Homo-oligomer: A and B are copies of this chain.
Amino acid sequence: MAASSQDSTVFRATTTAPVNIAVIKYWGKRDATLNLPTNSSLSVTLSQRSLRTLTTASCSAKYPTVDELTLNGKPQEIQSSKRTLACLSNLRSLRQALEAADASLPKLSALPLRIVSENNFPTAAGLASSAAGFAALVRAVADLYQLPQSPRDLSRIARQGSGSACRSLMGGYVAWRAGSLTDGSDSLAEEVAPAEHWPEMRAAILVVSAEKKDVPSTEGMQTTVATSNLFATRATSVVPERMTAIEEAIQNRDFPAFAEITMRDSNGFHATCLDSWPPIFYMNDVSRAAVRLVHDINRAAGRTVCAYTFDAGPNAVIYYLEKDSELVAGTIKAILGATADGWDGPFYEPLKNFTAPGVPLDSVDSRAVEVIKDGVSRVILTGVGEGPISVNDHLVSETGDILSQ
């Protein structure tokens, strides 16, 4: 392709990417530059029918010479983000290799990039958007460059943007293998099972009201690695056993086993945060009320029908199977009533007709009910879903203008 014809051409590729919520938590780096973790982790990819990042990667000779990135309508200081630069540099190298091998390919690696990204969920929801964001960025640029690399290969690159982003390049149940090599080449994500293997998995995210947020803590996973006396036991002994056990639970579609491991790993992760110096707190009184609610629902149901997990924040993610929607989501709906937003969307349909709680509310601690009702502002109902999806809803026009959804 002649350089002259490239002058006004805008090359584009657009993808969506999902959020993932870990059930075995990533916490602690053995290499902070390469984002190499101290332990393996495992997550459930959540449906993009509920939550997704949409990203268009484009390049053109008509663009200013410096790469540009716009997130949710705001231009980003891309040159100060080493992580973004590392991802783009890796992707360009792979494109250069293609171009070197096939002279007929347009020299896209030499063109400035314009990347535009939007989340469909409010920042106020307190959901970590960096995983979906970096997964979408890597997937979109890889598509733009028509790279042949597999999601597993690309996960090495996304990992350098944000550790947990590597798990958002695949759907279903995804493990991030910690690896042991110093260059990080064996630290990548692998699909443990596709979403179709166990499609009934559901998640209710209880978003804690801004006014109920806790006293902020000085956070930082490296603080835990450096100071917690209990962390090494977690990283070297507890997590490896749990990884094996939860993969087996997923293969066997054994919800009670999956649930107990998920809850215990969340608790163990937050325990090492508390054991850090200075201590790190993410769960607050609302979080703990959600813990109590889950244990009480399971007790009332006489079997394990739901499981909680908490990331680095107070929001509860409650996993359950579709067949137990009434017991779990129905009980949550009865507690929150009309006081919380979010009772809509593609996963709400089967709940519409629930009017009574799935378990009697008097079998749930009354103080927990009160704290949840008072402290949860929004619910997001979702479930296990697919990995990134190539779409045509471009955020950059044919002539290179930034569009918005």
Contact = CB atoms under 8 A, between A and B. Distances in A.
Contacts of A216: 365, 367
Interface string A261-287: 001100110111011111101001100
B285 A274 contact: no
Given A274-B274, A285-B284, A291-B279, A215 B268 contact: no
Contact of A215 (B214, B274, B276, B292): B292
Interface in A278-303: 278-279, 281, 284-285, 288-289, 291-292, 295
Interface string A368-405: 10010000000000000000000000000000000000
A84 B294 CA distance: 38
A215 B284 contact: no
Q: How large is the interface on A (under 10, 10 to 19, 20 to 34, 35 or more residues)?
A: 35 or more
Interface stretch (A101-109, A197-205, A227-235): A227-235
Contacts of A284: 285, 288
A232 B229 CA distance: 12
Q: Lowest 10 A-B CB distances belong to which pairs?
A: A271-B275, A271-B271, A230-B230, A271-B274, A229-B238, A233-B233, A285-B285, A267-B279, A215-B368, A215-B292
Given A229-B237, A271-B274, 12 more contacts: A214-B288, A215-B285, A215-B288, A216-B365, A230-B275, A233-B233, A263-B277, A263-B279, A267-B274, A271-B275, A274-B274, A281-B288
